[in-house]
Amino acid sequence: MPKIDPTLARVVIGTRYPAPYDAPCLHRSTQRLSDVAGLTQFGVHKLTLPPGAWSSQRHWHTHEDEFVYVLAGRVVLVTQAGEAQLGAGDCAGFRAGDPDGHCLQNRAQEDAVVLVVGSRNNDDRGVYPDIDLALAEGRYAGRGAFTRKDGTPY
């Protein structure tokens, strides 16, 4: 089993969300650890959220499962059902097609580090229940793009 050097994973700061939806995610950083290993069926990201940063806008996936595991710090898991505090060692999972959107928010005074694992499915669409945003299918094949809910581009 080859050991992965996480320093080889490029650090990406910010988000591809269009303004104004990008604002709460501008200072998050991600490292795509699974890409370093050449994995193609699922993604593993190390997500760092400084104080005040969100992981994403609240969303759900049509064809992808998603799992989060808090490595360090504390976050608030926001779902349609409400809010839950997650600390180091806590985890949560989200089934594909379950329309209960989710996101993580760092409301603490220290960085939070979260491992995010998700399937990679080219039929997946991202649904954002609170805002006029959608993620078109095909993002892993390079076709996915953010649009308004009616399909018009930003």
**Given this model, what pLDDT does residue 141 score?**
46
Concatenate the DSSP letters of all residues of the chain into one string.
-PPP-GGGSPEEES--PPTTTTGGGTT-EEEEHHHHHT--SEEEEEEEE-TT-BSSSSBEESS--EEEEEEESEEEEEETTEEEEEETT-EEEE-TT----EEEE--SSS-EEEEEEEE--TT--EEETTTTEEE-S-GGGT---EE-TTS-B-
Query: For 43-56, what is each residue's pLDDT tens digit?
Result: 999 999 999 999 99
Q: For residue 75, is it within any domain?
A: yes
Q: For residue 95, is it within any domain?
A: yes
Quote the domain boundaries for residue 40.
6-147
Q: Please, what are the averages of pLDDT over each run of 10 residues along the chain (154 residues)? A: 87 95 98 94 96 97 95 97 97 96 98 96 89 78 74 86
**CATH number, residue 40:** 2.60.120.10
**Given this model, what pLDDT does residue 27 score?**
98
Q: For residue 1, is it within any domain?
A: no
Q: For residue 152, is it within any domain?
A: no
Q: For residue 20, is it within any domain?
A: yes
Q: For residue 38, is it within any domain?
A: yes
**Given this model, what pLDDT does residue 136 score?**
79
Number of domains in the chain: 1
